[in-house]
A = this chain, B = another copy of it.
Amino acid sequence: MSAARAVVLLSGGLDSATVLAIARAEGFEPCAMTFDYGQRHAVELQAAGRVAEHLGVTLHLVMPIDLRAFGRSALTGDIPVPRGRDAHEMASGVPSTYVPARNTVFLSLALAWAEVLEAQEIFIGVNALDSPGYPDCRPEYIAAFERMANLATRATTEQGRHLRIHTPLMTLTKAQIIRRGLELGVDYGLTHTCYDPTDEGVACGECDACQLRLAAFAQVGVPDPVRYKRA
């Protein structure tokens, strides 16, 4: 009997690489989905490709979706990337890296692909640490999306399937995520986290994302295998 397919949202970052390894460890055949949404750096897409290959993914869909059409986000646009903020500032509100309705757009496209693949599982790497700043990372949002999704497609309304959104990182700290990934054999040297890398893809070590990542590796007590300009 072949494994059931699961759509796994894969950004090329640390979190989604861990989610992919978890989906596989839970016995699913992971089908990776990566969005090319006008990110600043092709290095993210390259990282997603490396991670998918490393973890034995056979289907990897890279889908272009131009969120720049909407403007107004540091991840896709003209606003400077915040750096050197402390944890309190990071937690205090919606960061400028917020993309309007991003997870809703991504999960909707994952839902479409899941239906075509006859998959009933979608994995996404949202976690509690992101929750204060990102409304679309909260458990109540995910539950509402799942409920909507089960009313949205032929598979779930006519064919009696139940679609499930898996968020295995929801209650984990970044350090716990890394520990889980290391147990599952994830090579974090293949992942990319930095919001502001060099042209060669070397991480800055200073942006919010690099700071959170470095602090988590320090907490786990293992070196971060990724190269930094300044760490």
Report the copy number of this chain in the oligomer.
2
Check: A148 CB closer than 8 A to any chain B CB. yes
Q: What is the interface of chain A, defined by CB distance below 8 A to chain B?
A: 61, 63-67, 69-72, 93-94, 98-105, 107-109, 111-113, 115-116, 135-136, 138, 140-141, 144-145, 147-149, 151-154, 156-158
Interchain CB contact under 8 A, B101 and A67: no
- The one of B71, B105, B108, B148 in contact with A141, judged by C-beta atoms closer than 8 angstroms, is B148
Cβ of A64 to closest chain B Cβ, rounded Å: 6
Known: A157-B135, A158-B135. A152 touches B103 (CB 8 A): yes
A-B contact pairs, 24 of them (CB 8 A): A63-B66, A63-B69, A64-B64, A93-B158, A100-B111, A100-B154, A101-B109, A101-B115, A102-B112, A103-B152, A104-B108, A104-B112, A104-B148, A104-B149, A104-B152, A105-B108, A107-B108, A135-B152, A136-B153, A141-B152, A144-B144, A144-B147, A144-B152, A145-B148
Query: What residue in chain B is nearest A66 (Cβ atoms)?
Result: B64
